[in-house]
Structure 1
Amino acid sequence: MPRRATIIEVAREAGASKTSVSRYFAGERDKLSPALCKRIAAAALRLDYRPNQMARGLKAGRSRLIGMLVADIRNPFSVAVMHGVERACREQGLALLVCNTDNDPELERTHLALMSSYQVEGLVINASGSPDAELQALTGQGLPLVLLDRELSAVQADLVGLDNTRALDLALDHLAEQGYAELLYLSEPPERASPRRERLAHFQAGLATRRLSGEAYTMSGSDKELQRAIKAFLTRSGLERSGNTPRALLCANGAVTLAATRALQRLGVRLGETGLMGIDELDWCALIAPGITTLAQPTEAIGRQAVASLLANSVSQTAVEPRQHRFEPRLIARGSTRLTG
């Protein structure tokens, strides 16, 4: 690996002092003459000199780093929100340091210690466990913190995420209006994440007010088990009524929608005749004929709000009561919730 040029070498090449070169790269060029600035710029170009911004920031007491912990970097929601966070950081002259905890609480604690060692100026966390003690220690040190999507009751911090109540209302209203009377709600284990619990609870509460019947299934086994559960739901007689009433699957997130789509394809089920709807808009949902109905989360806005909350808390001189920033999803209706015949 080629050796990097040093600031002393740039100073020697430019015929300037080390202090002048340091001021040039620290943005204090108004303290230098135009001719000196030109010489320093030319010397840096000839030597291919690039300043160590991390060392410079730490020396000044600022790292210019924002940390972000995601529970599963393979999740399309996490990637989309991360994009919004990164763009907002870039616009503010900040860099983003991302760690994937892989839904491992122990790895999450390790990454939190890593973030602290890098002296990040703020932290966005999509928690996979319950790192209450670690996060309380960080906030006690004055580190701004934002919870993404998942709540931690013992941590006083802003929360940014989907309005889960509104999302389930939109989903149930749409399915009822389309004529589906019996619903199967599919979710990953709800005890592992607060949004899953919120969505499941509102699904169960919202059935009676819309004169719907339904049940929930937690995906914790193999694809074949899910396929058997869906087949049982679709083939048995009415759950609470007689006759062959229209039925639909409501999926709690994008990963569940994908698993349910695969199961329905294997079963040879015709979408629309059996309804299918998912929370989270994924690129492929428009490509599966006749198109899968989704509730699209405003991931860009969620990511940007996370950074805005961090910056607002970092400049506040007094304790601020934590706020929740809940975003409404957008219904994208497609053929999978359109009864045929």
Structure 2
Amino acid sequence: MPARSTRHVTILEVAREARASKTSVSRYFGDERERLSRELQGRIASAAKRLGYRPNQMARSLKGGHSRLIGMLVADIRNPFSVAVMHGVEQACRASGYSLLACNTDNDPAQESAHLSVLASYRVEGLVINATGSPHGALQAVIDRGTPLVLLDREVDRVDADVVGLDNPRAIDMALEHLAERGYRELLYITEPPEEASSRQRRMARFQTRLDDFGLTGESLCLPLTGGTGIPHDAIAAFLNRPGAAPKALLCANGKITLAVTRTLQALGVRLGETGLMGIDELDWCELVAPGITTLAQPTEAIGRAAVECLMQRRETQRHPSPPRHIHYQPVLIPRGSTQR
């Protein structure tokens, strides 16, 4: 059993316990373990276990320049999409022998800048960025220092980097097509401020330009960045109570908004299906709210893994860089009773 102690065991103590040199112990916990005999590796491993030794990863990175850390900036950790993608990123990092260091910016550019500085101090070997605003200067500086980065879901102007995310125009097309086929004619699209993220901008623009193509009319409702809680009941009630016989539906831009709108419709006594409800992002509870909420599911696991794969490829080809790639995944339609008239 490892020794219980309140102090940190040193590498010199492990060397003495293992009857080995300090250099050999350093090689064992570094990148040169194969240079040691199996017998010596066994002695060092046993000594480290008995003493409860844990290598100082920060010290190793400062000495050798290899932290084995991947940094990730998330714009809003409360967004279920962020959590789901982060799981895919972490799984891919682990499979490649890296650990993930994640930071939540809370949609605050100042926090984003501070977290970038923190991640740089840890000498991360790559960055996955779900950007807040347009931090092009800070991100370009990261690239110029030789740290590869991948933009997740949101593009940043004047930053030449790989982008991995959803095919947003296709997602809106699929939503409009589905709602039109189900007989809805008047739509309310509910989103957070589009100017804050390129993905929201693309979804909003596509919604506005494709309505006529599907024989629909529609309008948009923009909510503040309050975690999806600031749904104005009056605005939704006004849309639903507007005179006219055309069937109405609400299209939600993400999972947080879908949850908040569902609560609002329940409070207003709205019968789902008679009034359509559809959301981008599949959440566990969507099938549990009668009669079930129709969604467009993002392949979050694949998106997260692809982001890390891009980083690994960039690390291997840094001396011969290729043009940035845009990898867009298709959503999956999950029809349920909320769009069944």
Shorter-chain TM range is over 0.9
Instruction: Report the Cα offset of residue 327 of structure 1.
Output: 0.6
Q: Which residue of 2 aligns with 1:233?
A: 239
* Cα-Cα RMSD: 1.6
Q: 1:315 to 1:30 in 2, by over 3 A?
A: closer
CA contact (8 A) 1:158 1:309 kept: yes
Q: How does 1:22-61 map to 2 (within 5 A)?
A: 22-26=26-30, 28-61=32-65
Q: How many residues align?
A: 334
Does the alignment pair 1:101 with 2:105?
Answer: yes
CA contact (8 A) 2:249 2:275 kept: yes
Instruction: Report the Cα offset of residue 38 of structure 1.
Output: 2.8
Instruction: Report the Cα offset of residue 118 of structure 1.
Output: 1.0
Q: Which residue of 2 aligns with 1:241?
A: none
Distance between the aligned counterparts of 2:33 and 2:136, measured in 1?
45
Does the alignment pair 1:133 with 2:137?
Answer: yes
Q: Which residue of 2 aligns with 1:314?
A: 315
Q: Which residue of 2 aligns with 1:336?
A: 338
Instruction: Report the Cα offset of residue 41 of structure 1.
Output: 2.4
Does the alignment pair 1:4 with 2:4?
Answer: no
Q: How does 1:108-257 map to 2 (within 5 A)?
A: 108-220=112-224, 226-238=232-244, 244-257=245-258
Q: How does 1:48-87 map to 2 (within 5 A)?
A: 48-87=52-91
Residue type of the alignment partner of 1:328 = Q
Distance between the aligned counterparts of 1:223 and 1:140, measured in 2?
39
CA contact (8 A) 1:223 1:263 kept: no
SS where residue 159 of structure 1 aligns? Answer: strand
Instruction: Report the Cα offset of residue 62 of structure 1.
Output: 0.9
Residue type of the alignment partner of 2:18 = A
Distance between the aligned counterparts of 2:52 and 2:135, measured in 1?
43
SS where residue 9 of structure 1 aligns? Answer: helix
Q: 1:142-164, CA deviations, whole angstroms, 9 ceiling, x for partnerless residues?
A: 11011111111111111111100
TM-score w.r.t. structure 2 length?
0.94
Instruction: Report the Cα offset of residue 224 of structure 1.
Output: 7.6
Unpaired segments ≥5 residues, structure 2: none
CA contact (8 A) 2:65 2:123 kept: no
Greater shift in the superposed pair: 136-145 or 27-36: 27-36
Residue type of the alignment partner of 2:30 = A
Q: Which residue of 2 aligns with 1:92?
A: 96
Q: 1:223 to 1:109 in 2, by over 3 A?
A: closer
Unpaired segments ≥5 residues, structure 1: 239-243
Q: 1:125 to 1:334 in 2, by over 3 A?
A: same
Instruction: Report the Cα offset of residue 5 of structure 1.
Output: 1.4
Q: 1:290 to 1:309 in 2, by over 3 A?
A: same
